[in-house]
Chain A
Amino acid sequence: VPISSRQAFPLPSLPRKQPTVLVVCGPAQNGAIGLVCARHLRIFDYEPTIFYPKRSPDPLYRDFTTQCEKMDIPFLSYLPTEVQLINDAYNAVVDAVLGAEAEAGEGREPCATILATLKHVRIPIVSLDVPSGWDVEAGSSGGISPDVLVSLSAPKRCARRFLGRQHFVAGRFLPYDVQKKFELNPPEYPGTECVVAL
C-alpha cells in the first residue's frame, strides 16, 4: 500500500522552483503511510517536508520516522497557521492525517487545528484514502477539498463526494479471493502500474 501512494503523484509542472511538498502525518496508520510516501518522494527527487506532531509508539512506525530522518527529510516543529506561508513554501500538501479508521479523530487536537488550516490552503491537496475529517461514509460538509484522492485498496463510500481533479485507486496487490469476497470489481491496472486513475 505505501508503495502505491507515492506513484499517484503525477509529475506535473510545479509552479515553484524547488519541488517542495508538505506531508502532514496524523497519529495512526494513515500518518505512517504518509511517512513511507515522503521517503519515496525523496527518492523521486522531490523535496518533502514532514509535519508529524503526534508520533505513534508503534515500532514499525518509529522505524519509518528514522528512515525519513536519515534521508534528511526535515520535520517541522509546528505548522504555521498563517496559510500564506504554506502556499508560498510548498507546491502541494499530502494529507495523511486521518484515514478510514478515524472516529472522532478530527475533533481532537492537534488534528482539529491542522484541518482548520488545511481547509484554507490554495495549493493542491492530495489525500490518502479518505480526505481527513470527512465522514468515511457520508463525506464532508465544509471540510477540506482535496485536488487528488488516492483510495487505498478500494474507494470508500465518501469518495462519491470527491470533487477534485484526479481520483486514483491503489489496490493492485489485493489477492483475488479478497477482491471477490468483498465484491470489489477493481478496474484493470495498466502494465505493471500499481495505481490506476478512475
Chain B
Amino acid sequence: QEEAQAIDQELFTEYKFSVDQLMELAGLSCATAIAKAYPPSSFTTSQPTVLVVCGPGNNGGDGLVCARHLKMFGYEPTVYYPKRPSKPLFEGLTTQCQKMDIPFLPEFPAEAAFIDELYGLVVDAIFGFSFKGAVREPFGSILSTLERITAPIASIDIPSGWDVEKGKADGLQPDMLISLTAPKKAAMHFTGRYHFLGGRFVPAALQQKYALNLPPYPDTDCVLQLT
C-alpha cells in the first residue's frame, strides 16, 4: 500500500501530473476493460445497463469517469453516489455525467434481487488502495447487498472492503478486477474471471525505480488483460 502511495506522490509532486489527468486516464481504462470483457451484446438484460457505485474518494471519482466513457461506448450506466466531496474535481465529474443524461439514484436498491433484475453489471468504485480501517455507513450496507447479487461485479483497483494487502475471504468476490498502475498485493487473492491492468501512464523511470515489472501493453491500448 505504501509503495502505491509513494508512486502516486511522485507522479503528482515530481512529474507534476494533475489528479484530473490521471483520473481521466484511469477511468477510461476501466471503461475500456469492461467493454472488452462484457461487450453490450453479452448482456442478458434487455439493455446493457450498468450500475456504478461510487464511494467518497478518488475511487469514486474513477467511477464517475468510467460511467461517462461507458455511456460513450453505448452502455446505459446509472450512478449511485451518496457521499460527494465538495471539491471542484468531483463536482465537475458529476456535472459531466448529469449533462450526459446519466441518472443518479436517490437511494440504493433495497434488495440484491432488484439489482439483478435491472442491471447486467455492477461497477464497484467504492474504496481504493488508500482504504484503511472500518467501513462507514452507508457503505457497509451497500457492500452487504452487493455480496448477495448474482450479477457480475467489476472492481476498480481493489475490491471494496478488502484489506489492501491481505484481501477478504468473506467479502466481495468480484468477477473482474481492474488494477490501476500496477496490481496491488490484494490482487493475489482475486479469484474472478478477468484481471486487467489499466492506467498506462507510469513513466519507464518510475517503473524501474519501484521494480514494477509490468508486462508490455499491446500496441496503443490503454488496458492489458492479465488473466
Answer yes or no: are A and B bound together in one complex.
yes
Q: How far is the CB of B181 from chain A (nearest CB, A)?
A: 13
A192, B32: Cβ atoms under 8 Å? yes
Residue interface mask A60-86, B partner, CB < 8 A = 1: 101100110011100000000000000
Within 8 A of B (CB), among A42-76: 42-44, 60, 62-63, 66-67, 70-72
Range of interface residues on chain B? 20 to 34
Neighbouring B residues of A66 by C-beta, 8 Å: 15-16
Partner-contacting stretch, out of A105-113, A123-131, A171-179 = A171-179
Given A66-B15, A173-B72, A191-B35, check contact A6 B220 (CB 8 Å): yes
B18 interface neighbour in A60, A71, A173, Cβ under 8 Å: A60
| Closest A residue, CB atoms, query B25 | A3
A172, B72: Cβ atoms under 8 Å? yes
Neighbouring A residues of B32 by C-beta, 8 Å: 192
Is B215 close to A, CB under 8 A?
no
Within 8 A of B (CB), among A142-197: 172-173, 175-177, 191-192
Known pairs A175-B96, A192-B31 / 18 extra A-B pairs, C-beta < 8 Å: A3-B25, A9-B220, A11-B219, A11-B220, A44-B219, A62-B16, A63-B18, A66-B16, A67-B17, A70-B15, A70-B203, A70-B205, A71-B15, A71-B205, A173-B69, A176-B100, A176-B101, A192-B35
Q: Which chain A residues have a beta carbon within 8 Å of chain B's beta carbons?
A: 3, 6-7, 9, 11, 42-44, 60, 62-63, 66-67, 70-72, 172-173, 175-177, 191-192
